[in-house]
Every structure is written in structure tokens, then in C-alpha cells.
A and B are shown apart, each in its own frame.
Chain A
Amino acid sequence: MSHNKILEIQNLSMEFGGLQALDSINITFYEKEVVAIIGPNGAGKTTLFNCITGVYVPTRGNIFIQNPYTQMKEKINGLKPNIITRKGMARTFQNIRLFKNMTVLENVMIGRHCHAKAGIISAMVRSKKTRDEEARIIHDSRELLKKVNLVDEQYEYAKNLSYGYQKRLEIARALATKPFLLLLDEPAAGMNSKETAELMDLLKEIKKDLHIALLLIDHDMHFIMNLSEKIFVMDYGKKIAEGTPEEIQKNPLVIKAYLGENI
């Protein structure tokens, strides 16, 4: 495995009024890795996600990303979410946030837009260049739908899909932005064991085919232990442990804070 850094979080703190949601977090992510963050509810996992993706501006600390293709390193805290997405990090949401009254295909096309150039004038003129770009967006989006096995539902409204399908569509939409790091906020939440197994296969396939890194938050231990190569454990806004799944399972601190039992 290569060891290029893609995301470096240094001393990251986030305070909401008097509440210390994140306390001096230091985490480094490497290229093509599957990493999981676990921790009890309210440990600050989603806050960390929101800081990385630009929804919150962190109180202290720095976040750097390094594009694995160009090797350019930049500081991203304080940038708007849409800029950060363009730089190569995409996310899914804990509670599904699809464009409900748009078709499945259109949902994915929106993700692809951030790499398209067409503006208002070209939308009105519709030159050959714009039409080609449009055709390319449609083609790429359909390819992604094939990957997540949703191509038969492409003209269905997103709101009419079942829960498991909606989760998959969200992943396809995030992939459409061509990320090098995909952040998944509780992808397996609310799924039955069959759906979880399918999701696991899908994520493994994505990692294998697209060579991107995955960052997961989840509570499903079976899912996490099976999929991830490295795990970070958080509690009360602090990172309390990190290591391989085997190490984490044996770590007494983690067992005390979160697992509470042997699995």
C-alpha cells in the first residue's frame, strides 16, 4: 500500500458555546485506505465530519488535504462545502438527503455538475460543446448507476425508492463528484442484515475499482470490523484509541468507553 497522505487533521477543536464537541483531534489519513470512526452517541463523530466537509468552521486547529494526483497540499478549514467537494472530498448524510422530487438519474447528474463548465449563456445557446458536455454527464451518471445497481430505476423519483436504494443512490451521487476520499456518515444505519451485506460488497467494490479512500462512521460493529483497515475511537470529543480492528477489540479503554462487551 502506498503511503501518501491525503488528509491531515491537526489539533482540531470545535466549541459550541461552552460545549467542547471536539478536543484537539489529530488524525492522518492515507491514500486508498478504509478508515472507520467509532464512538458512543454524542462523541463528536458527526461534528468531525462537518468540520472536514466545511459545514462548520473549526474553532482551532488545521485541516490539510493533499490531492493524490497532483500532490498539492492545501489548508481547507474555513472553505465553503461546495469548494471542498470540488477539491475531492464527497460525503453522504446520516439522515438521507436526496433531491426527492428529482429522478434518480438527475440526482447523480447534480453530483457530476461540479466538473462541468456550462453556464447560463451556454444553457440558452446550447452549442455543440454544451450538448457534448451534457451527454458526457448523462453517460457518466448512468455508468455510476450501473455500479450501484440502480440503472433500472433511473427515471424513478428519488422519493419513491426504498430505504436501501436511497442509501445506494446517495453513495452514487457522492461518487459522481469524483472524490479521492468518500465520507460515509452511518451508511448501514437502519438496514437489515441482507442490505448491510450488500452495502459491504458495494463499498469493497468501490474501493477496489475506483481506488479511493473511505471514511466511515457507523455503529454496526460487524460491518466496521469487516470493512475497515484502521479504526479511530472517539469519546467526549477526544480520540481515545487508534489501530487495526484486532487491536481495537482488545483495547481496554475502548471496551470500557464503548463496546462494553466482548465481540
Chain B
Amino acid sequence: MFSFKEIKKSFLISLWFMFLTFPLMVIKINPETHSILWEWKNMLWVGIGTFCISLLVRFYQARNKKKSLSKKLFFADRKIPTSVIVAFLFFSIIFPFLFSNYHVNIMTTALMYIVLGLGLNIIVGLAGLLNLGYAAFYAIGAYSYALLNYHFGIGFWLAIPIAALLSALAGILLGFPVLRLRGDYLAIVTLCFGTIIRLILENWDELTFGPSGISQIPRPTFFGIEFSPHNVTTYIYFIALGFVFFTIFMVNRLKHSKIGREWQALREDEIACEAMGVDKTKTKLSAFALGATWAGMMGVLFAAKTTFINPASFTFIESVIMLSIVVLGGMGSISGIIIAALILILLPEYLRELGNYRMIVFGLSMVVIIIFKPHGLIGNVKKNYKTDYDVSQ
């Protein structure tokens, strides 16, 4: 089953892991006696464990290679059955009535990240423009609501279209200087953009109140009716859920429209795209603007949910999480992004019980997903264009 070479490789990997985890697993300090305990037994377990896992991975990879390409494609291209979708829908609606406020709150955050992931998916997954500054648009949305409310008393529902518009403008503003850039260079510029926006928020005290942030942002109301603190969590959950449905609907439409196909063509080959009469400038800017729109709207919801925002909520790591959702879910795939957002947001929350090992387990699960599913959780589904009526008539 395994050749000697493979076993040797696994053995070396386990040795390497034993060396790496040596300080963490073997050296234990006894604070009472100020002495060091050498737990050599742990090292043995790490060695055996990694050896077995490494062999398992090899076995899986070898089996995967044998599988014919058509079989793999069959799995990637299969559509999700309607019954599963209906079950999910039903569960998402009854969810707040089954679980406590704590769980509803976490789920709301996860739903918000689904929307953010789908929005970023327009820029990264469809148009192929690597963006490491997506949190900046999120911040612009949140601050638009907070400031508009503070100065002019504008409510949640009116703030949403305004924030969407402002973020779209910011997207176009970022889009113009990066029109010629691709790949690594684009990543650097967008990263800088994200950092610049955060620095502006931190240092422009007169406008943004600096690092201390803005507090007492009103929660969303229902036609002027305010909810009790207990019920408002459920209300925000349903707003987030509504946004998820709206976004899925819209992104799906955009993806299978003229503009969506042009984004994908731009991702595949810019020169061929231009030779086919596609306006590169317009297509790129529209991807930036439309992607940013969702982040802006989610920013408003975020500000309304937490009632307090400061620049620390919009750091680089936020952008990285959003990008991870898109990459993990499978570039361009809507259902993949939904699953990835749920994993990436819910897993660290529910792993809290593991204490110090939380981030290790989290990192490990990401590595495992990337090893076993290098193209994301769910691949792209091919669209079969069937026309209902005959045009030639």
C-alpha cells in the first residue's frame, strides 16, 4: 500500500513536528518549585500522531489521483438538492426561537460575514482582483451610519442606501489608480488602502472621534417602533438573514448576466477581453463598486448591532478573514462561501472551551481543508443556458 519512500517521508515529517512542538509540549514549568518538568511522553504521542496523520493524507491523495477527472467534476458540478435548501431555510427561520441570545448573536455575525464574503466574491472570485483592504469599505459603511446619525439623526434604514452609495464611491476611488495592476501589486495597493482608511479614522479626531470611537449608536427600529434589548437581537438576526437572501439573489443574478460574464472573462484573460470589445475600465470599476456596496451595508448593520464602533474593529485581520472566506469557499461559488463563512466565524466562537488551543485547532482545520479541497469547499457550478422560447420566430 505504501512504498518505503513514503513511509520514510512520513517519518521525517513526524520528527520535524516533534522538534517543532518540543518547547510547547515537552518543557513544562512548575511555578511552585521553580523547576522544569521534562514530559518526554508527550513527544512520543506527537510523533506517533503526526506519523499516522501524514500516512492518512498520503493515502487520501493517492486515492484521489486514481479517481478519474470526470468523477471529480461530477461532484463539483452537482447542484444542491432543493430539499436541503428548504431545510436550511426552515432552520434559519426558527433558529432564534430555539436558542439563547448568545447563540443568536453569534449566528448574526456569521450571517453578516456571509454577505461580506459574497460581496468580496464579486471582486476576488468573479473579477479576479485580489483585494486585501475590504474591511475599509466595511468601516466606511459603519462610520457613515454612526456619523450621519450623530450629526443629522439619520435612522438605520435611510443610512443603508447612503452607506451603500458612499462605499461604492470609495470602491471607484480605489479602482481608478489600480486599473493597470494585477495580482501581487494589486494586493499591496489594496492592503495599503485598507490601512490608510483605518489610520484616517484613528487620527482625524474632529470628524471620527479618533481611537475612542463613537458610542450609543441606535439599534434598528421597525417603522419607528423600538424593541426591548432582548427582542432586538432577534430582530437584527432577521435583518441579517434578509440581507443574506437579498445578496444571494442579487449576486446570483449578477453572476449570470452580461456584466457577470464580463467580470469572469476579465479574470481569465484581460487582453482577450479587450479584443472582444469588453470595456476593461468600466468592468473593473463596476466590480469594485458593486463589491464595496455590500460591505457598506453590512457596516451599517455592524454599527447598529454593536452600538459602538472604533477603528480597532476594522483592522487588516478583518480583511484577511473576509478573503479567507472567499478562498476557502471556492472562488466564485455562492454555496461554498456560505459554508466557509459559517465555519470561519462559528468555529472560533464554539472552540472557546478549548482555551489556549482554540487558535491551533482553528488553524489546523483550515490547513486540513486546504489540503483536501485545494479549490475550495464547493467548486463552481456550470450554468446551462436554456432558453424557453425560440428567438428565431
Contact = CB atoms under 8 A, between A and B. Distances in A.
A101 B261 CA distance: 11
Contact of A138 (B276, B279, B290, B385): B385
B286 interface: yes
Given A82-B280, A85-B276, A155 B382 contact: yes
Q: How large is the interface on A (under 10, 10 to 19, 20 to 34, 35 or more residues)?
A: 35 or more
Interface string A118-157: 1110111010001010111111000000000000000101
Contact of A177 (B264, B277, B279): B277
Contacts of B382: 103, 155, 157
Give the dominant DSSP class at A's interface: helix
Contacts of A86: 277
Contact of A93 (B254, B272, B280, B389): B272
Given A99-B264, A99-B268, A139-B392, A123 B277 contact: no
Given A82-B277, A99-B265, 11 more contacts: A86-B277, A97-B275, A106-B261, A106-B264, A113-B258, A119-B259, A134-B257, A136-B391, A137-B258, A173-B276, A176-B276
Given A99-B268, A100-B268, A126-B253, A114 B258 contact: no
A102 B264 contact: yes
B271 A99 contact: no
Nearest to B266: A99
Given A82-B277, A111-B277, A123-B253, A98 B272 contact: yes
Interface in A203-224: none
B32 interface: no
Given A99-B269, A136-B391, A124 B253 contact: yes
11 contacts: A81-B275, A82-B278, A85-B277, A97-B272, A100-B269, A102-B265, A109-B385, A110-B265, A113-B261, A126-B253, A173-B276
A120 B391 contact: no
B387 A139 contact: yes
A191 interface: no
A92 to B, nearest CB: 9
B258 A123 contact: yes
Contacts of A53: 275
Contact of B254 (A106, A116, A124, A135): A124
A114 B278 contact: yes
B4 to A, nearest CB: 37
Contacts of B175: none
A105 B385 CA distance: 9
A73 interface: no
A82 B267 CA distance: 16
A135 to B, nearest CB: 5
B260 interface: yes
A151 to B, nearest CB: 13
B3 interface: no
Contacts of B272: 93, 97-99
Interface string B320-345: 00000000000000000000000000
Nearest to A119: B259
Contacts of A93: 271-272, 275
Contact of B262 (A85, A110, A155): A110
A90 interface: yes
Interface string A182-203: 0000000000000000000000
Given A82-B279, A102-B265, A124 B250 contact: yes
A63 B356 CA distance: 70
B52 to A, nearest CB: 37
A101 B268 contact: yes
B271 A120 contact: no
A22 B264 CA distance: 35
Given A98-B269, A109-B261, A123 B276 contact: no
B151 interface: no
A91 interface: yes
Give the top 7 A-B pairs by smallest Cβ distance, nearest first.
A114-B277, A123-B257, A85-B277, A99-B268, A97-B272, A139-B391, A81-B274
Nearest to A86: B277
B49 to A, nearest CB: 38
Interface string B157-190: 0000000000000000000000000000000000
B34 to A, nearest CB: 61
